Amino acid sequence: MGDVVRYGLVGAGLMAREHIRNLAITPGAVVTALADPVESSLALSREALGDAASGVRAFADGADLARSGLVDAVIVASPNHTHRRVLEPLFDADLAILCEKPLATTIEDARWVAERAAQASAPFWTAMEYRYMPPVAEYIRQIHAGRIGALKMLSIREHRFPFLPKVGDWNRFNRNTGGTMVEKCCHFFDLMRLITGSEAVRVYCSGAMDVNHRDETYDGQTPDILDNSFTTVDFANGVRAMLDLSMFADGAENQEEVTAVGDRARLDVFIPEGALVFSPRVGFRNPKAVSREVVETDPAALKAGSHHGSTFYEHQKFNAAVRGVGPVEVTAADGLAAVAIGAAAEISAREKRAVEMAELGL
């Protein structure tokens, strides 16, 4: 394919349009096809494509797109519960795939995807863009370089806005999303695995739907997704991690705050502030020695998406993998592991108990 990669998108909704804006500033990327059964979504994606829309062919489903011969790589941005069905013809066509998180809504389906991806010759990438926020990437680099000593504790806080409206409001129900701990929090469970360098062995989650969507009904059904939770994850290497989630904290100064504590120091990162704060151990009542640095993000990348520029940086890496000049950094196995921790958290919240990952076959 040389230096040009032809992209198709299955799913033409909000996240697809973020991908389109980022592909527009990715060298050698050209969108050639879209697939979505909803014409209004296709129209909005054509609008996002601007003048380039005239060269893009639209399909009603991903299977037709896969057979078209128009694409080298496909971005799957369809609703969570459709991923397995959408992916099957893409695997059969041996296309490079970037699949939005979560990989699937159940462990069974995520395991199927991981097994098919392991057999495929074309690259498969799970879209875990939070890894690629420049401040977070630098934060992870410093932890792995030993700046805080041996990592012992990791905490992640996301205080944010409620789930956004989707076509048919499919994201209001666990059956479509896998549950909030899968749909939203797989990002953070992926970060936990990456930062700790270990696998989860035990999960405890206390959560509820206390504020959002309580007055909504759809065909007589009330939404059942969690809107806040505390989740503790024990890892095999002894590190403990915690996620503090609130989806009714729209006014928070920083949407994400991550704290890692090692035996020599503590390191924080704040998004969107972009600041890293280093706090070494100095002993009781000794003068503080805190230092702060701000990691900048390309303004064009910030403008192209709503994930602190991360979608742009992720696309540069995926594009390189498709062209055979870079590795796949986030595999389907990574996507499966993140779904599994989220599924364990959903079980834990419902049953009010700790869940051993071994119970889930992991």
Q: Could you report the per-residue pLDDT of 220-233, keeping only the tens digit for each?
A: 999 999 999 999 99
Read off the pLDDT band of 3 (50, 70, 90). Answer: confident
DSSP per-residue string spanning 83-105: HHHHHHHHHHTT-EEEEESSS-S
Across residues 24-32, what is the average pLDDT?
96
Class of domain 133-298+337-360: alpha beta
In tens, the pLDDT along 155-195 reads 999 999 999 988 889 999 999 999 999 999 999 999 999 99
CA distances from 102 to 126, 132, 164, 301 (A): 8, 16, 16, 23
Contact 312, 303 (CB under 8 A): no
Q: What are phi and psi of 64, to 5 degrees?
A: -65, -40
Q: Judging by DSSP bridges, how do beta strands 200-208 and 73-76 pair with one another?
A: unpaired
CA distances from 295 to 133, 137, 199, 308 (A): 10, 10, 29, 11
DSSP conformational letter for 26? S
Task: Give CA–CA dist 354/344, Å, rounded.
Answer: 9
Task: Give CA–CA dist 17/266, Å, rounded.
Answer: 38
Fold of 5-130+313-331: Rossmann fold (3.40.50)
Q: What average pLDDT does the chain have?
A: 96
94 Cβ partners below 8 Å, 6+ apart?
Answer: 120, 121, 122
SS3 277: strand
Q: Which residues pair with 267 in a beta bridge?
A: 260, 278
pLDDT recorded at residue 306:
87
Answer yes or no: is pLDDT of 21 > 70: yes
Read off the pLDDT band of 1 (50, 70, 90). Answer: low
**Strand ranges of the sheet holding 96-100, from the earlier edge strand across to the other edge:** 57-59, 29-35, 5-10, 73-76, 96-100, 124-127
Contact 167, 41 (CB under 8 A): yes
Beta strands in the chain (DSSP E): 5-10, 29-35, 57-59, 73-76, 96-100, 124-127, 151-159, 200-208, 228-235, 240-246, 256-262, 265-271, 275-280, 291-294, 355-356
Where do we find the tokens 């909030």? Answer: 180
Q: How do the domains of the chain map onto residue ranges?
A: 5-130+313-331, 133-298+337-360
pLDDT recorded at residue 362:
83
Distance of CA 283 to the CA centre of its chain: 38
Percentage of residues of the chain with pLDDT beyond 70? 99
